[in-house]
A and B are shown apart, each in its own frame.
Chain A
Amino acid sequence: MSSSPYTAMNAVFDAIARQAPVPAARLIKFSRRRFMQATGIAGGGLMLGFVLKAKPAHATPGALQPNAFLRIDADGILLYAKNPEIGQGVKTSLPMIVAEELDAAWDDVAVEQAPIDAEAYGMQFAGGSTSIPMNWDTLRQAGAAARAMLVAAAAKQLDVPLAELSTQDSFVAHAATGRRLAYTELAASAAEFPVPDAAALKLKDRRHYQLLGTRVTGIDNDALVRGQPLFGIDQTVPGMKYAVYQKCPAVGGSVASANIDAVRKMPGVRDAFVLEGNGKFAELLPGVAIVADSTWAAIRAKRELEVEWNLDDAAKDSWSNAEKKAEKLRKVPGEKRVADDGDVDAAFAGAAQSLDAFYAYRFVSHAQLEPQNCTAWWRDGAVELWAPTQTPGSGIRAVAGVLGIDPSKVTVHQARIGGGFGRRLYNDFMTEAAAISKRFGGPIKLQWTREDDMSHDLFRAGGFHQLRASLDEEGRISGWRDHFITFTHDGDRPVSGGDMSRGVFPAGLLANCRIEQTALDWKTPCGAWRAPGSNVFGFVVQSFVHELAAAAGRDHLEVLLEMLGEPRWTGKGDMRSLHTGRAADVIKLAAKKAGWGRSMPEGRGLGLAFYFSHAGHFAEVADVSVDANRKITVHNVTVAADVGPIINLSGAENQVEGSVVDGLSTMLGQSVTFEDGVVQQSNFDSYPMLRMPHTPNVDVYFIDSDHHPTGLGEPALPPLAPAVCNAIYAATGERIRTLPISLEGYSV
Chain B
Amino acid sequence: MLRLNVNGKVREVSDAEASTPLLWVLRDELGLTGTKFGCGVSICGACTVLLDGTPVRSCSTVASAASGRNITTIEGLASEDGELTPVQQAWIDIDVAQCGYCQTGQIMGATALLKTNPDPSDEEIDTAMAGNICRCGTYLRIRKAIKQAAANMGESA
Contacts and interface: CB of A to CB of B under 8 A. Distances in A.
Interface in B111-128: 125-127
B3 interface: no
Contact of B104 (A227, A662, A683, A692): A227
Contacts of B136: 87, 419, 658, 661-662
B103 interface: yes
B69 interface: no
A224 B88 CA distance: 9
B99 A86 contact: yes
Interface string A273-290: 000000000000000000
A448 to B, nearest CB: 10
Nearest to A221: B92
Nearest to B16: A267
A21 B21 CA distance: 51
B129 interface: yes
Given A654-B98, A654-B141, A683 B43 contact: yes
B150 interface: no
B129 to A, nearest CB: 5
Interface string A690-704: 111101011000000
A191 to B, nearest CB: 34
A227 B33 contact: yes
A695 B142 CA distance: 11
A294 B20 contact: yes
Contact of B38 (A225, A369, A660): A369
Interface residues of B, number: 61
A418 B140 CA distance: 19
A635 to B, nearest CB: 13
Given A450-B40, A695-B137, A370 B101 contact: yes
B33 A234 contact: yes
A418 B88 contact: no
B146 to A, nearest CB: 10
Nearest to B99: A87
A472 B40 CA distance: 57
Interface of A: 85-89, 215-218, 220-222, 224-231, 233-234, 236, 242, 267-268, 294-296, 299, 367-371, 416-421, 447, 449-451, 650-651, 654-655, 657-662, 665, 683-685, 689-693, 695, 697-698
Interface of B: 16, 20-21, 24, 27-29, 31-41, 43-44, 46, 73-75, 77-78, 84, 88-89, 91-93, 95-104, 107, 125-127, 129-143
Given A221-B92, A225-B91, 13 more contacts: A218-B100, A234-B33, A234-B34, A419-B101, A450-B38, A450-B39, A655-B98, A657-B140, A659-B137, A660-B137, A661-B139, A683-B40, A698-B140
24 contacts: A87-B97, A87-B99, A218-B97, A224-B100, A225-B107, A227-B75, A227-B104, A233-B33, A296-B20, A296-B24, A369-B36, A418-B36, A418-B101, A449-B40, A654-B98, A661-B136, A661-B139, A662-B137, A689-B44, A689-B133, A691-B130, A692-B126, A692-B130, A692-B134
